[in-house]
A and B are shown apart, each in its own frame.
Chain A
């Protein structure tokens, strides 16, 4: 441990450890967007040496707060005080120069460059002719110290999600971060890997830095944070020390009402799945990425009527390509896909959609919505089957979805781009649930959603399967979700299905082992 702390990476922050003054203070921050107050008079201190969890449901203002700290937004009112000095953070570069570094949920790395090349970008101190080997030892040391294998010379494209997140964090450390803004970056990792990152955060704060952990998971906040700040509808409704925080209290703060404590209640199952017709049949599927190597390697699976088949795995193990091949967005190299008995292999989305496929994509902004169009238009694009759009009907339907899913939007005619990430996701999920007739392919359907909304979406997916006999292929990086929702669980690792489990007889540890093996 001491060797770790003497490391240059951490030494630059230690001088702050003796100060009791906050590293960063927010004073009366207000930020408005059309129709919504994203942040309402929020004051918050971030102290050296602490892990502060920023907790809140969708649209509570977490992202807005982080974007203000990182210089992406400027507040309408209020001030930001950095190291005792009133500061306007003008841009991410400015934020980084002040030691405030963001670790985003999805790593912003250049796939074709090596880890070291990615890291040396932006490190000005090494000059124009910086050589990557200058930082190699440090990178190896950090990786080794927390026990994640990482070859710094390999291209980023070959890394797992865990490794990429590690690279993101190492970059933040090399940028001499004093305040790490961790935006859901650890939320999706398997629990064992999560712990490793928590250790890293702990060491970082021991060196005098602070970590702001943005999360919508109460459990994660309680597990790792020293203090928990809860945001609700743009207001800071409480800051609690971990020692005094109880799950129920935090939940109550977050959602403003007592959440019935049956969050883990088993969902209803379809009976006699085994006798049901096969909705989806995938045989020996091989899919390659654009630069040629196979990312899906001989996957076979089937989904029956009314059955939810969950695919568990760490992000980047071929899930995206598998899903895209099934939906019809990419052509597989080998193998076959049958939907309702019809061969749809490589025949495009037109056919699969015609056969009643619903698709909740992993990248909603790309494949799920058109942000310049209104909510109504985004619904109509898939709902209307005729040539003429009856807007009154679409409007009624949209209003119903907005009510049912509690989408925070002034009306159905606002462009989707004014919605928060979670609300945007609700629009998309509600639409796909409404239109799926044979198979629903859901890839991380609740990733951007808070507990209550996620709950609702899971229940709706279940109801779709039980009530309408729709088959569901659930691909999720959230193992809890897979366990909760699935009838059958497949584990994917490096593009192969490495395990098949009945959801009633399954050990979580066994699945996690297979996921990281």
Chain B
């Protein structure tokens, strides 16, 4: 009799934190190319050329920065085992508040302060939106996964209603969208790319702060313990409810900040329907966070890979090789192979006779 036995590894797989993401990306791309070949007869070689070119395209930097930030937001929550699926909604709430300040308040005309106010207000809005789910989780016991997910749609539609109604612009040529925000609020382009200096600065500041928080502060340690044993955290005299709210609040703050940055840097206005306006960064960020193995230092690389794959998908779309689904095909395949690779990094299969 031959048995296949699945065993938990007693020792973690060496270099798992590098092997798992790399293998899952390679296998994910391979899987997508097989599907594309079978479905649309796209020759794998051409596809690989396309991918290689995407990885070196200057347009990748913009998404890399944005996704690094969303990744940071989600790593905070995920490390604490708080499954924030709502970065998308928090992003849009940040965008909403920034739009309001930019279009309808006198602050918008003050040079530097206006930008900073928009970004910070975005952070506050994102945090509050996430805290809504945090309070429901901590005090009512509602699972944060469906709550944060559903709040994404609420955020979309709130913004949609505003853009469709009271915020509809005067100079829109029949489009349903707001006016452009004043030019002094626009972010500064990094020459030769589509990315912005302010976003890069935010990545550096927030990234360092989060890294420091997890490594050197008691709050960071508590968040990590919350992720592995909340009962111990409670028994050590920490208010676990507060920690849950804090995890979501911090996570939402960063996502909201990104929403504001995206408005100031890229769209300069909000168009109806808002859910089609962006790439769904809140969801892409989930993939980025997982590919980084929840390590802050690995986030930029994970974000770079995901952005490049996204660019590949968009290029193919433009070339008429498929619809928006191509992007999702890449992302879905990588997430699938990642999940499988992660399992194999923790378990091993042994043949027994």
Residue of B nearest to A34 (CB): B11
Q: Mark B4-36, 1 if CB is under 8 A from A, else 0.
A: 010100110000000000000000000000000
Binds B, one of A262-270, A291-299, A349-357: A349-357
Decide yes or no whether B237 CB sits under 8 A from chain A.
yes
| Contact A387-B219, Cβ < 8 Å, known A370-B228, A371-B229, A373-B224 | yes
Tell me if B229 and A372 are in contact (CB < 8 A). Answer: yes
Most B-side CB within 10 Å, residue of A88, A349, A387: A349
Tell me if B218 and A384 are in contact (CB < 8 A). Answer: yes
The residues of A that contact B7 with a CB separation of less than 8 Å are 74
Q: Chain B interface: which size bin? A: 20 to 34
Q: Mark A359-377, 1 if CB is under 8 A from B, else 0.
A: 1010000111111110001
| Contact A350-B229, Cβ < 8 Å, known A90-B3, A387-B217, A391-B216 | no
Tell me if A367 and B228 are in contact (CB < 8 A). Answer: no
The residues of A that contact B352 with a CB separation of less than 8 Å are 88, 90
Tell me if B239 and A389 are in contact (CB < 8 A). Answer: no
CA distance A380 to B218 in the complex (A): 8
CA distance A369 to B225 in the complex (A): 9
Tell me if A389 and B217 are in contact (CB < 8 A). Answer: yes
Q: Chain A interface: which size bin? A: 20 to 34
| Contact A33-B221, Cβ < 8 Å, known A353-B237, A382-B236 | no
- Within the complex, the shortest CB–CB distance from A184 to chain B, in Å, comes to 23
The residues of B that contact A348 with a CB separation of less than 8 Å are 239
CA distance A353 to B218 in the complex (A): 16
Decide yes or no whether A127 CB sits under 8 A from chain B.
no
Decide yes or no whether B183 CB sits under 8 A from chain A.
no
Tell me if A388 and B237 are in contact (CB < 8 A). Answer: no
Q: What is the count of residue pairs linking A and B with beta-carbon distances less than 8 angstroms?
A: 83
Q: Mark A443-472, 1 if CB is under 8 A from B, else 0.
A: 000000000000000000000000000000
Tell me if A388 and B10 are in contact (CB < 8 A). Answer: no
CA distance A33 to B229 in the complex (A): 23
Contact residues, A329-354 vs B (CB, 8 A) = 329, 348-350, 352-354
Decide yes or no whether B45 CB sits under 8 A from chain A.
no
The residues of B that contact A329 with a CB separation of less than 8 Å are 234-235
Tell me if A353 and B236 are in contact (CB < 8 A). Answer: yes
Decide yes or no whether A245 CB sits under 8 A from chain B.
no
Most A-side CB within 10 Å, residue of B7, B228, B352: B228
Decide yes or no whether B222 CB sits under 8 A from chain A.
yes
CA distance A162 to B170 in the complex (A): 81
The residues of B that contact A370 with a CB separation of less than 8 Å are 225, 228-229, 232-233
CA distance A32 to B237 in the complex (A): 36
Decide yes or no whether A275 CB sits under 8 A from chain B.
no
- Within the complex, the shortest CB–CB distance from B231 to chain A, in Å, comes to 5
CA distance A381 to B227 in the complex (A): 14
Pick the contact of A34 from B10, B222, B237 — CB < 8 Å? B10
Most A-side CB within 10 Å, residue of B216, B221, B225, B237: B237
CA distance A34 to B221 in the complex (A): 24
| Contact A350-B238, Cβ < 8 Å, known A34-B11, A381-B225, A389-B216 | yes
The residues of B that contact A353 with a CB separation of less than 8 Å are 236-237
- Within the complex, the shortest CB–CB distance from B5 to chain A, in Å, comes to 6
The residues of B that contact A350 with a CB separation of less than 8 Å are 237-239
Pick the contact of A368 from B10, B224, B235 — CB < 8 Å? B235
Residue of A nearest to B239 (CB): A350
Q: Mark A165-204, 1 if CB is under 8 A from B, else 0.
A: 0000000000000000000000000000000000000000
- Within the complex, the shortest CB–CB distance from B159 to chain A, in Å, comes to 37
CA distance A384 to B352 in the complex (A): 48
The residues of B that contact A254 with a CB separation of less than 8 Å are none
* Interface positions of A (Cβ within 8 A of B): 32-34, 74, 88, 90, 327, 329, 348-350, 352-354, 359, 361, 366-373, 377, 380-382, 384, 386-389, 391
Q: A33-B11, A74-B7 are in contact. List 5 more A-B contacts (CB 8 A).
A: A350-B237, A359-B235, A368-B235, A382-B236, A391-B216
- 9 closest residue pairs by CB, A with B: A353-B237, A372-B228, A370-B229, A367-B235, A349-B237, A34-B11, A370-B225, A370-B228, A370-B232
A-B contact pairs, 15 of them (CB 8 A): A32-B10, A33-B10, A327-B235, A350-B239, A353-B237, A361-B235, A366-B229, A366-B232, A368-B232, A368-B235, A380-B221, A382-B237, A384-B218, A388-B216, A389-B217
